[in-house]
Structure 1
């Protein structure tokens, strides 16, 4: 078998292996993220249900104690208030829970507000009338305190007073219910959005992998065709970068020193490829123990070589400065850039890697970052400023 065919075959097998690894990695991200979002927690549901019963019990106990005993203590006639409210209490519970678990879900949440309000008013009027009728009928009962007879008569004053109280307690419980549902809905939306952004962030990070590896493999392929003695060294450095990108970059944050160390490895790779045609000015200043999100800087560095290497201006001079100061990291890159026919805008030329990172920056920092990309006099410049911790 000719040597070139053997090299091509080995190169093809390496590409297939890397593709399988990256596809499996992306699949694991999707599956783990989906399970985290949809996996039910029956234990949590049980705790919420038990807490709900406890909260309801405490609320109604406070209402009963206040109306049956505290007001009676103030009026110096606990027997009268306890008797009256004990008879009214089941009617209050009935109208409140009928409203909370039937009228609100069936009509209010269905945006049938007029019908909801009409049914609620009608029920309050009827329940209040039945309640007062029962109190009036029990005036002669042995348990009825004589002092309560005045409050038990079916009169307009008593009806209005009890109607006001019943409407107030119904409105209070409705407000608590709707406020709680609104807060839960906002929380669910926030959790769903956070899960969506987390999944998108992980997928964006995983997209950097094929973009980076295929660019590097193309360079490796070219060296293999030339039977360059540099190919083994490039493979070794690429292996270290692959380990970092595929496995170590899954952490939420990484020290700047670690990120810049792998940037240096990438620069070494490109230096092997370009040889004496390339002049690199790479500097790191400040506290490199600060932590940043992994793989935010590498695409900008890669972009410098990708388009700087296409320049026909002679020597390729690339300047890279990373500076950490006042809890912010600044990245400056500068490389030669030549406009090619068929390219519509500068943004279309910066490649998928930069567009990917821009989206990650938006998710991670919202508006708390600065990214400036410019081109002048055939020099391409990038300035990035992000917070570090």
Structure 2
């Protein structure tokens, strides 16, 4: 019973609640009606206080209103789009002067003496209202409305162009990110299958385990990598599996070091963002399978800041030449472009190309504030 009473109370509250202001302004007709009501009330009170006759002031405004409305809407829906927005300023100015002059003449020399004066203000209207000064003043007053309506159209047109440009830019960004992400997957898969092929040639007992780990990596790429952000733990676990695959491939021929420090709980990162640096270290640094080859990978997380440092040796001339090719490889160019698109000013990337060592140092701000910027 208590639940039913609460529901009924909520229904009554909803029935008596005020309408949402945003919903009101979504109805264009209602907005236009409100504008003209405010206009009549404002100028009626203003002119009424000047002549000390509010009834006559409001009646004058109401009689003149249809002609002013016709001019305003003709300006909004024809003159501004046809002439002003196409930069035909002279023609627009001529038409406005002719139309406002015609409306002012109609109100002053037809409506005022034959309608307003005999019916609404026989005592307050005088011959002064038929002078050239009054005609010019009426034209200026009418042009206030013209200026307001033209400004509204220009602002609406500017806003629509801004929205269209923003949507186009967003669509272009999303398309480019999808293209870059699509490049990462086959690029990584190609390199990993080469490693698996190498083990099968040697009939290694590690081949089945490598297939299992590769299956886990593919699961991450197919499902998690499609998200905008993934937990940092998943990304690092992905890298751990990749390093395990490389350990199986190279065995004792390569000294691989992977260290982590800091808390990664609650941190998120764009998927497949760190792997290309690790992958390049193996592909270009130790793929020659020379003795004394090494790779160092260090990940540090302090609050919302991620630091990744990847180093690999240049053991031979071939490895040194391969390291030079690293900078122009698909993977590194790809990840640099993704960093620029996704993190903008929230990252720093340093590449050190020394005679015996190639190193990459990435600093990344993983905070929500960096995403908003």
TM-score range, shorter chain: 0.7 to 0.9
- Report the TM-score when normalising by structure 1: 0.81
Q: Where does residue 137 of structure 2 map in the other structure?
A: 161
| Contact 1:136/1:152 (8 A) holds in 2 | no
CA distance in 2, matches of 1:209, 1:264: 17
| Contact 2:239/2:275 (8 A) holds in 1 | yes
Q: Where does residue 356 of structure 1 map in the other structure?
A: 334
| Contact 1:72/1:82 (8 A) holds in 2 | yes
RMSD over aligned Cα atoms = 2.5
Q: Where does residue 148 of structure 2 map in the other structure?
A: 172
CA distance in 2, matches of 1:147, 1:355: 84
CA distance in 2, matches of 1:260, 1:87: 76
| Residue 115 of structure 1, CA deviation | 1.6
Q: 1:270 to 1:342 in 2, by over 3 A?
A: closer
State whether structure 2 residue 104 is matched by structure 1 residue 128: yes
State whether structure 2 residue 232 is matched by structure 1 residue 232: no
Q: Where does residue 114 of structure 1 map in the other structure?
A: 90
Matched residue SS, 1:133? helix
| Contact 1:80/1:147 (8 A) holds in 2 | no
| Contact 2:285/2:323 (8 A) holds in 1 | no
Instruction: List runs of 5+ in structure 2 lacking aligned partners.
Output: 1-22, 368-373
Matched residue SS, 2:271? coil
Match of 1:203 among 179, 186, 193: 179
State whether structure 2 residue 288 is matched by structure 1 residue 335: no
Q: Where does residue 371 of structure 2 map in the other structure?
A: none
| Contact 2:83/2:92 (8 A) holds in 1 | yes
Higher relative contact order (CA 8 A, sep 6+): 1
| Contact 1:303/1:350 (8 A) holds in 2 | no
Matched residue SS, 2:172? helix
Q: Where does residue 65 of structure 1 map in the other structure?
A: 41
Q: Where does residue 294 of structure 1 map in the other structure?
A: 271
State whether structure 2 residue 317 is matched by structure 1 residue 322: no
After superposition, the C-alpha distances for 1:359-387 in whole angstroms (9 at most, x for unaligned) are: 11111122321111121023110011111
Match of 1:96 among 72, 88, 102: 72
State whether structure 2 residue 28 is matched by structure 1 residue 52: yes
Q: Where does residue 259 of structure 1 map in the other structure?
A: 235
Q: For 1:276-291, what aligned pairs fall within 5 Å after superposition? A: 276-289=252-265, 290-291=267-268
Q: Where does residue 272 of structure 1 map in the other structure?
A: 248
CA distance in 2, matches of 1:52, 1:336: 68
CA distance in 2, matches of 1:359, 1:199: 13
Range 67-76 or range 373-382, more displaced:
67-76
| Residue 152 of structure 1, CA deviation | 8.1
| Residue 203 of structure 1, CA deviation | 2.2
| Residue 184 of structure 1, CA deviation | 2.4
CA distance in 2, matches of 1:286, 1:351: 31
CA distance in 2, matches of 1:277, 1:173: 78
| Contact 1:139/1:149 (8 A) holds in 2 | no
Q: 1:318 to 1:352 in 2, by over 3 A?
A: same
| Residue 174 of structure 1, CA deviation | 1.2
Q: 1:152 to 1:55 in 2, by over 3 A?
A: farther
CA distance in 2, matches of 1:127, 1:345: 79
Matched residue SS, 2:93? helix
Q: 1:91 to 1:342 in 2, by over 3 A?
A: farther
| Residue 352 of structure 1, CA deviation | 0.6
CA distance in 2, matches of 1:151, 1:314: 110
- Report the TM-score when normalising by structure 2: 0.85
Instruction: List runs of 5+ in structure 1 lacking aligned partners.
Output: 1-46
